[in-house]
Amino acid sequence: MPIFIVFIWVVFLLCILTIVLLKWNVIMYKRNGLPPGTMGWPVLGETTEFLKQGPAFMKTQRSRYGSFFRSHLLGCPTIVSMDAELNRYILVNEAKGLVPGYPQSMLDILGKRNIAAVHGSAHKYMRGALLGLINPTMIRDNLLPKIDDFMRSHLSNWDNKIVDIQEKAKEMAFLSSWRQIAGSEPGSISEALVPEFFKLVLGTLSLPINLPNTNYRCGFQARQKIVTLLRSLIENRRSANSQENSKQPHILDLLIKGGAEGKYKLSDDEIIDLIITILYSGYETVSTTSMMAVKYLHDHPKVLEELRKEHVSIRARKKPEEPLTYEDCKSMSFTRAVIFETSRLATIVNGVLRRTTKDMEINGYIIPEGWKIYVYTREINYDPHIYPDPLAFNPWRWLDKNSENQHYCLIFGGGTRLCPGKELGIAEISTFLHYFLTRYRWEEVGGDKLMKFPRVEAPNGLHIKVSSH
């Protein structure tokens, strides 16, 4: 009998504990005027469901609570916006207090002065400095020749080989940026940088737990090594630059001189954070889009045929060793369409994060200060009203120039944070595709798995068998 009573008590206490745990977040975050939604468990919130179910979780919550609902994700109370109009409103209203809301691990590792960490006039200044280095004139006169030269060598000797296109695309994205930033250093500092950079990337996507061997700690240590390498490179360049005046200086040399027009004087710490920003922002976006373009082209022979026609006709006008010009890149309208369709269908970027700097009224609700807003753009990419037959890989839909500029297209973000590297990224992927398609054909080896959420990646690589034409 006493055992039975103890048992009843244990069950009773467990029930109370579960109710308290379930209600904990509801009580903690209770405010008047919040959007509908659920807050999940203490600390974890609904992160486990979100990461496990991915897009299905978002769709279920939308069907219950509408396109603007509350949740608790990745350790923070969060409003999820899946409404196309509101998404744009949030992105264009940074001045009203909707600043970037990226995780602490990302801010710690990318640096206090990286573009996502600064707001207002500091952001305007850093962004101006960056745009001065990667604008269309710079791409035409300075960066494209470096990209072209790099892609030719990166894409040589693939004949008759099995390559992991994911790995090659990652190397391509990092090394192409590095070539633009610092050139090809003898004794190659890039060899020391590459492994540290990969650790840094992993660290930015982790929980900020500062314990030995956590991704966060390793990422932070990698940042410190990268900072040391860059600091000594800046010192070397500073002394070398006083004698040398190259026609096509590297981004680092320009930064040391205050930008292409000498207008932006940055401290060494700012220069370092800007370089890390350039390397980081273009890395996963450019590499994953390139890998997925190769995947989709393989699966859609008609698209491949059309794209190859575009590139073969450009090459036919040139001598074999003649580099691509900016005008060639501008004429690649089908290539541009393939890049947009790849970004849309694969959803390389699921959305962007913002944070409120004060209590704010949005869509008739009051969003408390410090809450995150997840501008979740993924579902818009599959909206049949905007993209008829949304699951088809159909680059032709982008040939009408207006589709790229339509109101709801947030593939490259929007508002004051619109991707400053958009044209540079497109130029890199286009040049990569040019040399890949004009030199090779390929078959998938088969059996490789592709994950689409939370990031697009092939966990064991994407292997292809390559042969020359």
Residues of the shown chain interacting with ligand HEM in the complex, contacts defined by CB under 6 A: 100, 115-116, 127, 130, 134, 277-278, 281-282, 285-286, 289, 343, 348-349, 352, 411-413, 417, 419-421, 424-425
Question: Do residues 351 and 377 make contact, with C-beta atoms less than 8 angstroms apart?
Answer: yes
Residues whose CB falls within 8 Å of the CB of residue 109, separated by 6 or more in sequence, listed in order: 200, 203, 204, 216, 219, 220, 222, 223
Instruction: Identify the residue whose tokens are 């609570």.
Output: 65
Question: CB of residue 119 vs ligand HEM: minimum separation in angstroms?
Answer: 9
Least distance in angstroms from the C-beta of 172 to ligand HEM: 12
Contact 411, 340 (CB under 8 A): yes
How many Cβ atoms sit within 10 Å of the Cβ of residue 245? 9
The nearest distance, CB 139 to ligand HEM, in angstroms, is: 11
C-beta closer to ligand HEM: residue 84 or 116: 116
Looking at the Cβ atoms of 39 and 169, the one nearer to ligand HEM is: 169
Least separation in angstroms between residue 143's CB and ligand HEM is: 10
Beta carbons of 373 and 98 less than 8 angstroms apart: yes
Nearer to ligand HEM, 338 or 466 (CB): 338
Q: How far is the CB of 321 from ligand HEM (least distance, A)?
A: 26
What are the phi and psi torsion angles at 188 (to 5°)?
20, 95
Would you state the torsion angle of the CA atoms of residues 289, 294, 298, 304, taken in this order, to the nearest 10 degrees?
Answer: 90
| CB-CB contact of 437 with 158 (8 Å) | no
Question: What is the smallest separation between the CB atom of 463 and ligand HEM, expressed in angstroms?
Answer: 23
In angstroms, the CA 165 to CA 289 distance is: 11
Residue number, nearest CB to ligand HEM: 421
> Radius of gyration (Cα) for the chain, nearest Å?
24
Separation between Cα atoms, residue 437 and residue 311, nearest integer Å: 7
Nearer to ligand HEM, 100 or 219 (CB): 100
419 annotated binding-site participant:
yes
Give CA–CA dist 80/377, Å, rounded. Answer: 10
Q: Which is nearer to ligand HEM, 144 or 466 (CB)?
A: 144
User: By C-beta, is 286 or 367 nearer to ligand HEM?
Assistant: 286
Q: Which residues are annotated as a binding site for heme?
A: 419
- Binding site membership: which residues? 419
